[in-house]
Amino acid sequence: MLALFYDIDWVERYGKHAMTQSNLMPAACMVDGQTLRQQLQLATQYLMQQQVDEARDNAELLMLHLLQVSRAQLLMQWQELFPSQLLNSWGQMLYRKGQGEPVQYIIGEAWFYGRPFQVSPAVLIPRPETELLVEAVFTHAQRHWQNEALHVLDVGTGSGAIAITLQLEQPKWQVIASDLSEKALQQAQTNAEFHHVTSSIQWVQGDLLKPFNQEAGRLTHNGQKIDVLVSNPPYIPIGDLTGLQREVKQYEPHLALFGGEDGLNLYREMVDCLRDLEEHPRIVAFELGIHQPEIVAQWLRDIGAWNEVEIITDYNGIQRHVIAIKS
pLDDT tens digits for range 19-78? 333 444 466 667 788 999 999 999 999 999 999 989 999 999 999 999 999 999 999 999
Instruction: Using CA atoms of 170, 198, 180, 209 in order, give the dihedral in degrees to the nearest 10.
Output: -40
CA proximity to 103, closest of 317, 301, 247, 278: 247
How far is residue 44's CA from residue 49's CA, in Å, rounded to a whole number?
9
Rounded to whole angstroms, the Cα distance separating 197 from 164 reads 7
Give the domain ranges of the chain: 8-100, 121-325
Q: Which CATH architecture describes the domain 121-325?
A: 3-Layer(aba) Sandwich (3.40)
Q: Quick: pLDDT tens for 150-208.
A: 999 999 999 999 999 999 999 999 999 999 999 999 999 999 999 999 999 999 999 99
- Start-to-end CA span in the chain (Å): 69
Give percent of the chain with pLDDT exceeding 70. Answer: 83
Is residue 239 scored above 90 in pLDDT? Answer: no
| pTM (two decimals) | 0.84
If pLDDT is split at 50, 70 and 90, which confidence band does 240 have?
Answer: low
| Alpha-carbon gap, residue 6 to 9, rounded angstroms | 9
Helix (H, G, I), strand (E, B) or coil at 184: helix
Strand order in the sheet with 202-205: 202-205, 174-179, 151-155, 228-231, 283-287, 319-325, 308-313
| 274, 280, 285, 286: CA torsion to nearest 10 | 0
* Cβ 159 vs Cβ 118: under 8 Å: yes
